């Protein structure tokens, strides 16, 4: 049974940034269009949501549609970044990206089931807590176990991306079989890199907001009865700068989480060292 170095897997994204900084930053910048699209959908949603407040059904449709569009845009951006990372930083749009996008939609379905289960468990435990049946500890334990289950499931499917790029066809269940070799070790890497990515995105955004406040820049989302005027505010220099940097942070967080899967995949399938160096050098 093949193995991989835990530490090398965890820092694979950082190592990729160190070895190929320009290519890696270019991949991370693919997060900027995603962030820009989210900003536009937020403006569109607010434009149609405010008149719909008196109609709860319409407001619900708008919220659901906005969330769905943002999810699709995010998954598309992640698919392009994942394919680029698997190719060592080479960005292009083609079959690999399309296959990874479809794969991400398939992978999201079981994850959605887990998330819905967590939501139901949260509602039940909240009702139980309010009724005095359960304590807060029970609720948080249930939520924690649900979150661990979701992360464990995602980690087992995480190798599907690099396998799909390598083989030129979707490799969904093959990832499950390959990750069976070192399931807990892969889960450990996945958990650590998720926390690292969250620290980069969240910590970076916090520092970014502090800088914006210090410079007294206005990046607030503007509502106007005229949709054209509201959308114009999205392309203000300060807003665009914030969106680009926000997207870069998100892209770096994605790279930090995706690069380890490419490293683990190459170790477990036994690619030659030279091939591995060609990807990360």
For 240-266, write each residue's pLDDT tens digit.
Answer: 888 999 999 999 999 999 999 999 988
Single out the residue of 38, 25, 49 nearest to residue 75, CA to CA. Answer: 38
User: pLDDT of 169-206, one tens digit each?
Assistant: 888 788 888 888 888 899 999 999 999 999 999 999 89
Q: What percent of the chain has pLDDT over 90?
A: 27
Would you list the domain boundaries of the chain? Answer: 6-280
* Higher-pLDDT residue of 50, 281: 50
Burial of 17 (0-12, 13-18, 19+ CB in 10 A): buried
Single out the residue of 232, 234, 254 nearest to residue 243, CA to CA. Answer: 234
Residue 74 has pLDDT above 60, yes or no: yes
Torsion sign across C-alpha atoms 241, 244, 250, 254 = negative
- Reduced to 3 states (helix: H, G, I; strand: E, B; else coil), residue 43 is helix
The residues, ordered by sequence, that sit 6+ positions from 248 with a Cβ below 8 Å of its Cβ are 25, 28, 29, 31, 32
Per-residue pLDDT, averaged over 83-91, amounts to 83
The residues, ordered by sequence, that sit 6+ positions from 47 with a Cβ below 8 Å of its Cβ are 223, 224, 227, 230
Q: Model pTM?
A: 0.79
Residue 115 has pLDDT above 80, yes or no: no
Q: What is the pLDDT of residue 136?
A: 55
Where do runs of H (alpha helix) occur along the chain? Answer: 6-10, 12-19, 21-28, 31-49, 56-86, 95-130, 136-157, 160-167, 172-179, 183-215, 227-232, 237-269, 273-280
Residue 237 has pLDDT above 70, yes or no: yes
Residue 102 has pLDDT above 50, yes or no: yes
Q: What is the pLDDT of residue 2?
A: 80
Q: Work out the mean pLDDT of the chain and round it to a whole number.
A: 80
Rounded to an integer, what distance in angstroms lies between the CA atom of residue 154 and that of residue 149? 9
Residue 147 has pLDDT above 80, yes or no: no
- Reduced to 3 states (helix: H, G, I; strand: E, B; else coil), residue 6 is helix
* Higher-pLDDT residue of 49, 208: 208
* Higher-pLDDT residue of 46, 268: 268
Per-residue pLDDT, averaged over 115-119, amounts to 62
Residue 83 has pLDDT above 50, yes or no: yes
Single out the residue of 238, 196, 237 nearest to residue 213, CA to CA. Answer: 238
Q: What is the pLDDT of residue 114?
A: 62
CA angle 120, 126, 131 (to 5 degrees): 130
Task: Name the token pair of 6.
Answer: 């835990």
The residues, ordered by sequence, that sit 6+ positions from 119 with a Cβ below 8 Å of its Cβ are none
Q: Binning pLDDT at 50, 70 and 90, where does residue 158 land? A: confident
Do the beta carbons of residue 193 and residue 158 sit within 8 Å? no
């Amino acid at each position: 049974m093949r193995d991989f170095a835990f530490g090398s897997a965890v820092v694979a994204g950082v190592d990729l940034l160190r070895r190929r900084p320009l290519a890696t930053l270019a991949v991370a910048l693919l997060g900027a269009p995603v962030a820009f699209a989210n900003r536009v959908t937020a403006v569109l949603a607010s434009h149609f949501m405010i008149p719909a407040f008196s109609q709860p059904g319409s407001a619900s449709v708008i919220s659901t549609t906005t969330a769905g569009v943002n999810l699709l845009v995010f998954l598309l951006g992640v698919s392009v970044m994942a394919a680029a990372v698997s190719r060592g930083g080479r960005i292009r749009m083609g079959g690999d990206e399309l296959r990874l996008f479809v794969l991400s939609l398939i992978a999201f379905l079981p994850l959605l089931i887990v998330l819905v289960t967590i939501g139901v468990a949260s509602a039940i435990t909240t009702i139980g807590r309010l009724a005095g049946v359960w304590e807060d500890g029970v609720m948080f334990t249930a939520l924690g176990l649900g979150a661990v289950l979701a992360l464990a499931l995602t980690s087992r499917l995480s190798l599907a991306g690099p396998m799909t790029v390598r083989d030129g066809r979707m490799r969904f269940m093959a990832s499950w079989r390959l990750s069976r070799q070192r399931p807990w070790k892969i889960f450990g890497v996945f958990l650590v890199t998720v926390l690292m990515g969250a620290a980069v995105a969240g910590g970076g955004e916090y520092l970014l907001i502090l800088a914006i406040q210090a410079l007294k820049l206005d990046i607030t989302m503007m509502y106007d009865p005229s949709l054209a005027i509201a959308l114009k505010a999205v392309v203000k220099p300060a807003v665009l700068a914030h969106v680009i940097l926000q997207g870069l942070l998100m892209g770096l967080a994605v790279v930090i989480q995706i690069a380890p899967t490419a490293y683990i995949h190459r170790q477990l399938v036994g690619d030659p060292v030279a091939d591995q160096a060609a990807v990360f050098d």
